[in-house]
Amino acid sequence: MGETITGTPDTNLAVGTFGCAKLALYADDYFNDWHGRFYSGTHKDTDFDVVDFAKTAGVTTFDPDLSSAVVVGDLFEMYPPDFTPEDFNSAINLAISMVEEEALQDKVDATLEVAASTYEYDIPTGFRYIDQVFQESGTANRYSPSANLIDVRHWRILHGTTPRLWFDDNYVSLTTGRNLRLVGQGVQAQLSLDADTCAILKSFIIYQAKANLHFSRVDEQGDAHFKKMIAAQTVADKERQHIGVAGRGKRVSF
């Protein structure tokens, strides 16, 4: 997406400035209007815009001011004016959402506790499919496939605003106080923080996000952004062929 600079602040540390010897190689005003983000340290996950740059000591003045002064551990990255950190994040999350139903991920939850005379339960968030339901054994946190697996014929999912798990009380005996263990699949969560991780094929995410970014800047067919979008989309489409996890069990949400 163009030149990207990373570095470590080392001088002139304040709420709206920092110096970095690595940047002193560049001319005055070189980084004006660039966008930045602190990706590690006290101010991790904080975005900023460069309003002035001085070659001497690589002093960068940015906006908005922080609540406290920059420190040496505040590792940063900066990129040209074309795209903001928010643009990057949105493009990545759009790429994730485009294949979330193709890149299903294993999900397990054991937070539901059986209540007396209750045979319907709100399904914990995040499930797309549920394949197996276990009832906790007499020993806490122990679920035996042979003794505690509830027959798939005796439970189903009630669809609605809040999907619910229903058990047929003619065939299922639930014990008050025991937990239910749901085994199924969910989708990749959207990303917002630098520590967030993504399990979807990285090469697809990178090129699809790049295609999304350039598409957002296309003015007319054939311009520079259009050509870069096509190039990135071609690679993303090839990588997408390597993504594919079939749903298992009963569908929770649509």
**What is the block-wise mean pLDDT of the chain (254 residues), using blocks of 10 residues?**
90 98 97 97 96 97 98 96 93 97 96 97 96 96 94 96 96 97 96 93 97 94 94 98 93 84
For 166, other C-beta atoms within 10 Å of its C-beta total 14
248 phi/psi in degrees, rounded to 5:
-120, 130
Q: What is the pLDDT of residue 66?
A: 98
**C-alpha–C-alpha distance, residues 224 and 236, integer Å:** 18
pLDDT for the residue numbered 142: 95
User: Residue 190: helix, strand or coil by DSSP?
Assistant: coil
Token output for 84? 């903001």
User: What's the pLDDT at 3?
Assistant: 83
**pTM of the predicted model over 0.95:** no
Q: What is the pLDDT of residue 2?
A: 74
List of residues 6+ apart from 119 with CB closer than 8 A = 166, 167, 168, 169, 172, 174
> Which residues touch 92 (CB under 8 Å, ≥6 apart)?
191, 198, 205, 209
Domain positions in the chain are 5-82, 87-101+188-240, 105-186
177 DSSP β-pair partners: none
The count of other CB atoms within 10 Å of the CB of residue 61 is 17
User: Which residue, among 197, 200, 231, 202, has the nearest Cα to 214 in the 3D structure?
Assistant: 231
**Structure tokens that stand for 244 in this block:** 């594919």
